[in-house]
């Protein structure tokens, strides 16, 4: 539904109507609150509606149990704690302990997840699978720190755009539950009382400047900052030059900036998830990835975002996928990601020369790799045994994964510093009364590209959007 904002007071005011805002609104309405959402676009959905629709959850969800996947909250927590670079462990603990119930809540809202499993490696399966592996759970050393489990919960919707179905259902529930929504509304600043408590916002609506008050608090759910070239370029000029952002035009960091204007702190603001996926087909993972010196630098069975993060750190940001004839195939999305087949060679020495690597370097790397792969071992990077095979069936081929050659895409990870209640913190680490943030404008459960897995963004936003609504409504009204 769409409102004219003539009633300019509410219990909870939410800025943004992607997955974070929608879930927060539904949680608040279930508690009897009057909810007003201000959405900058002409309709809800945001970047969430453009996504693959993967929600990273675990701990033993009903989908995991139905498909025979063993998991528990402690395993989920231990994995995230080892890979997420989050120093506030309470955030990870709350998510891990509440993940099962959150999945049940999503299904109760009508979000569909098919009881079908996918056990290979894929960017996003397209045959209606509801559960697959989307992270680095089996990558060393994380598999030794926590029992691996499949945690990518994929919404049953249009292939490669299941996020559209996800948001369709959530927005329908918002309409049914009487959430007041004002679109084409741009929030320009936060209002505070004499004590410093956030009591509302100033917004431009229908060409007019309006002040809207919130009795219990304001939740910023405005998305990331990947579309803001100034913010990205300040910390990641390479991404700005060599990659393209993913998101709507409104993923411009505006929510972060209006909070910073009243003293909010930020965390991991320099962190981006930059990626291009060379698989499927999954057989390509049995190849090796080397830099311009002919050296391996990452386990090839890593999640593609982790691999990309390491490629950016290589000399000249150059990297090559090396295959033999037994596993050769074109990446299924080679046109989207512009993966170029450089050439084929009858010998490793010829390939080494063709790629202009130091003489003997690639030959030594492959000889060492093949010797151990024959025994099902990888002492250098501990690639999972399922993906190990000697690369000894000539001819050989190389695809160019180099930054500036292949097409990479990115979105932001860091944002406003928050606590486990989704309260925005100031520079001293104290909560700013009445102000909350969730989703991509907040620094949540994952702050490193090396640890990212598909679905962590949607899971983080939907979960902590609800947490914010719960906490805000428990506080005494202003």
Q: What are the pLDDT digits (tens) for 343-391?
A: 999 999 999 999 999 999 999 999 999 999 999 999 999 999 999 999 9
Which residue, among 57, 48, 52, has the nearest Cα to 76 in the 3D structure?
57
pLDDT at 418 (0 to 100): 98
Class of domain 1-274+412-478: alpha beta
Q: Which of the residues in the chain have pLDDT under 50?
A: 1, 6
CATH 3.30.420.140 fits 277-406, yes or no: no
pLDDT at 5 (0 to 100): 52
pLDDT at 336 (0 to 100): 87
Q: What are the pLDDT digits (tens) for 195-225?
A: 999 999 999 999 999 999 999 999 999 999 9
Query: Which residues in the chain are classed under CATH 3.50.50.60?
Result: 1-274+412-478
Task: Tell me, yes or no, if the pTM score tops 0.85.
Answer: yes
Residue 179 CA to residue 220 CA, distance in Å, equals 16
Which residue, among 151, 164, 167, has the nearest Cα to 63 in the 3D structure?
151
pLDDT at 123 (0 to 100): 85
Query: Which residues in the chain are classed under CATH 3.90.700.10?
Result: 277-406
pLDDT at 1 (0 to 100): 44
Contact (Cβ atoms closer than 8 angstroms) between residue 112 and residue 186: no
């Amino acid at each position: 539904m769409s409102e004219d904002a003539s009633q300019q007071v509410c219990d909870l005011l939410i800025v943004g109507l992607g997955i974070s805002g929608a879930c927060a609104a539904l949680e608040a309405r279930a508690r009897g609150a009057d909810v007003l959402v201000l959405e900058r676009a002409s309709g809800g959905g945001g970047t969430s509606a453009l996504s693959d629709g993967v929600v990273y959850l675990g701990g033993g969800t009903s989908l995991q149990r139905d498909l025979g996947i063993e998991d528990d909250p402690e395993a989920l927590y231990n994995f995230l704690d080892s890979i997420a670079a989050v120093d506030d462990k309470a955030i990870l603990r709350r998510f891990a302990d509440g993940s099962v119930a959150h999945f049940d809540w999503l299904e109760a809202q009508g979000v569909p997840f098919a009881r079908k499993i996918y056990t290979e490696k894929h960017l996003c399966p397209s045959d209606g699978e509801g559960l697959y592996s989307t992270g680095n759970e089996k990558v060393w050393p994380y598999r030794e720190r926590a029992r691996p489990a499949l945690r990518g919960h994929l919404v049953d919707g249009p292939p490669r755009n299941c996020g559209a179905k996800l948001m369709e259902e959530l927005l329908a529930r918002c309409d049914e539950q009487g959430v007041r929504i004002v679109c084409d509304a741009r929030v320009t600043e936060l209002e505070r009382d004499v004590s410093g408590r956030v009591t509302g916002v100033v917004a431009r609506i229908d060409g007019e400047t309006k002040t809207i008050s919130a009795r219990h608090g304001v939740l910023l759910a405005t998305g990331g900052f990947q579309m803001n070239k100034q913010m990205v370029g300040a910390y990641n000029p390479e991404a700005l030059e060599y990659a393209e952002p993913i998101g709507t035009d409104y993923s411009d960091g505006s929510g972060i900036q209006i909070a910073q204007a009243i003293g909010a702190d930020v965390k991991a603001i320099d962190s981006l998830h930059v990626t291009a996926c060379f698989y499927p087909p999954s057989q390509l993972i049995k190849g090796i990835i080397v830099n311009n010196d002919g050296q391996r630098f990452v386990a090839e069975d890593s999640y593609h975002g982790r691999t990309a993060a390491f490629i950016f750190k290589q000399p000249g940001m150059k990297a090559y996928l090396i295959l033999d004839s037994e596993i050769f195939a074109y990446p299924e999305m080679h046109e989207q990601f512009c993966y170029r087949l450089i050439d084929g060679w009858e010998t490793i020495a010829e390939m080494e020369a063709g790629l202009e690597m130091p003489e003997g370097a690639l030959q030594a790397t492959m000889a060492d790799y093949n010797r151990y792969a024959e025994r099902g071992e990888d002492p250098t990077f501990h690639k999972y045994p399922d993906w190990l095979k000697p690369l000894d069936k000539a001819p050989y081929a190389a695809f160019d994964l180099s930054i500036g050659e292949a097409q990479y895409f990115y979105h932001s990870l860091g944002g406003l510093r928050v606590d486990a209640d989704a309260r925005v913190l100031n520079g001293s680490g104290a909560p700013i009364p009445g102000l909350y943030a969730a989703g991509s404008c907040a620094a949540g459960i994952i702050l490193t590209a090396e640890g990212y897995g598909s679905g962590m963004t949607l899971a983080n936003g939907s979960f902590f959007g609800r947490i914010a609504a719960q906490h805000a409504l428990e506080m005494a009204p202003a």
